[in-house]
Amino acid sequence: MNAARLLAAVALCVPALPGQILDPALLGKPATDAWPTYYGDYSGRRFSTLKQINQSNVKAMTLAWITRFTPGPMGATAIGGLGTDAIPAGGNEFGGFIIKATPLMVNGVLYFAAPDNAWAVDARTGRELWHYFWKTTGGIHIGNRGVGIYGNWLYFETPDNYLVSLDARTGKERWHIQIADVKQEYFSTVAPIIVGNHVMVGTGGDSLDVPGFLEAVDPETGAIQWKWWTAPLKKGDPGSETWPDENSMRHGGGMTWIPGTYDPDLRLYYIGTGNPNPVETGRGREGDNLWTCSIVALNIDTGKIAWYYQVSPHDTHDWDATETPVLIDGTFQGRPRKMLAQASRNGYFFLLDRTNGEHLVTAPMIETMNWSKGLNAKGQPVPNPAKESTVDGVLVSPPSGGATNWPPPSFDPETGLLYVGTSESYSVFYLTDTDPHPEGYGAAERGAGGFGGTVRAIDYKTGKTVWSHHWPSGGGGAAGMLTTAGKLLFTGDPVQHLVAFDVTSGKILWHAGLTANVSNGPVTYLLDGQQYLVVGAGDSLYAFTVEP
């Protein structure tokens, strides 16, 4: 079948609501018969109210379908981009092609992305409906977190820093805009989040001391509506007093490479920012280095800061604070609060009042952590100077990969527990650039072993671990989390299994062997009256269900 006929056939196969594929009202509701955004809804909780699959029948859950995907131009039904057809070697930091994206599901169709590629898949059968390929001009192909959807349009970011808009029905490109210059070693991995008529676009960067930013663009045209820089740009700007000079600010880092969350009542968008540059040394950038390694609340219409909380002032170990800012509505010390929780890469759990950034709780997540001397009056960790990189090397936990990292946690409002994958390990940090003003990476790091990975259930009110499950085979917390009203927690272990836990006790109730480790966050949805669970592992998507 030629490409034109195939595209026409695909268009007939994709169901659609009258006028548009996605009803925007779904974005603000708990995910049930759709999974319309990266976290399922705006809260970042990754909790589903579905309970057709539950503790009583999860042992009967079986594979509904599995589909393996091949990136690249071969077989693509639509092609765009500005480079060649060549696929960069390596694929990502693990080698090969790995699905890190959280699939979206709307009207019986799954949508997901990988570096330079986007797909639409029949959610009932796993059959590929269309495949878009972007001809790249370069960039680091470390992974892609997924797509955003607005009406009939899809949005995804490319490693060479373009935002691409596609027709969700056919995969045909509508337009693309440049986000940043790949020659400055920016690279883009984030899943766009759609809030009203704003497409939220972030980016990553590597070692060339470039500043981070977040921007909102128009979903119809791609025109920039506002742009917020993660460090001040000149002397006198708010936050500039936390940097020694203008040069250090303009090369200060603070990337925005994980999607944020949103409170529609407060009209605030919450996002975590990355580490400051130079990396793994504080030389040449004395001060707290705002707004790196921070949780920031931005006005969705203007991009202006409403409040911020810096979880690692003057970070010197590459501990991005980009981990999911989870929104929690509950009680704290006897009264209702609108809160925000983050299990952060530096090894601490934080709880804040999300209306104003007031600090509520800070608690350590891992037992091996050795870099902090305690907390200051604001609840921020106080670094131990003896754990700064040295020429001879110093042993630090956690390493730069963190006590946790990008795989999303889950919060279950019925248990009041935040579930997160953690890693207890060490690295030796060696100072490699002794210049007073280093550039790029000022230190090198060598892994020194550890005790593997642990799933933790954390009480949001105290930060204390209620239960934990240590993986005896070792390995870190590399899989995302999903909780459901069926009283189940789904995640992956380090030896190629999808696992279901009892959310209250941590008892394993079910597991299934896969062909690779779980590589994204699981999602669930109700389709034709039947609940499905979909997860990525390596180059494949797996769908599980319990037959009625």
At 480, is the secondary structure helix, strand, or coil? coil
Pairing of strands 482-484, 47-48: parallel
Number of independent structural domains in the chain: 1
As a whole number of angstroms, the distance between CA 453 and CA 368 comes to: 12
Could you report the per-residue pLDDT of 20-44, keeping only the tens digit for each?
A: 577 767 777 777 889 999 999 999 9
User: Please, are residues 428 and 393 in contact by the beta-carbon 8 Å criterion?
Assistant: yes
Exposure string of 446-480, with b = 16+ CB inside 10 Å and e = fewer, is eeeebbbbbbbbbbbbebebbbebebeeebbbbbb
Backbone angles phi, psi at 295, to 5 degrees: -100, 125
Backbone angles phi, psi at 84, to 5 degrees: -100, 180
Across the chain, mean pLDDT equals 92
The residue whose two tokens read 């550039």 is 439
pLDDT at 29: 72
Within a 10 A sphere around the Cβ of 224, how many other Cβ atoms?
13
Could you report the per-residue pLDDT of 254-268, keeping only the tens digit for each?
A: 999 999 999 999 999
Could you report the per-residue pLDDT of 106-162, keeping only the tens digit for each?
A: 999 999 999 999 999 999 999 999 999 999 999 889 999 999 999 999 999 999 999
Domain that holds residue 247: 3-545
Rounded to two decimals, what is the model's pTM? 0.94
Place 511 in a pLDDT band, splitting at 50, 70 and 90.
Answer: very high
Q: What CATH number should be reported for the domain holding residue 64? A: 2.140.10.10
Could you report the per-residue pLDDT of 301-357, keeping only the tens digit for each?
A: 999 999 999 999 999 999 999 999 999 999 999 999 999 999 999 999 999 999 999
User: Please, are residues 154 and 165 in contact by the beta-carbon 8 Å criterion?
Assistant: yes
Q: Which residues are catalytic?
A: 318
Per DSSP, 290 falls in state T
Q: Do you know the residue count of the chain?
A: 548
User: Smallest Cα–Cα separation from 82: which of 196, 159, 191, 170?
Assistant: 159
The residue whose two tokens read 């169901």 is 15
Could you report the per-residue pLDDT of 375-399, keeping only the tens digit for each?
A: 999 999 999 999 999 999 999 999 9
| DSSP secondary structure string for all residues of 127-183 | -EEEEEEEE------------EEETTEEEEE-TTSEEEEEETTT--EEEEEE-S-GG
Per DSSP, 242 falls in state G
Angle at 184 between CA 180 and CA 190, to 5 degrees: 45
Pairing of strands 148-150, 153-157: antiparallel
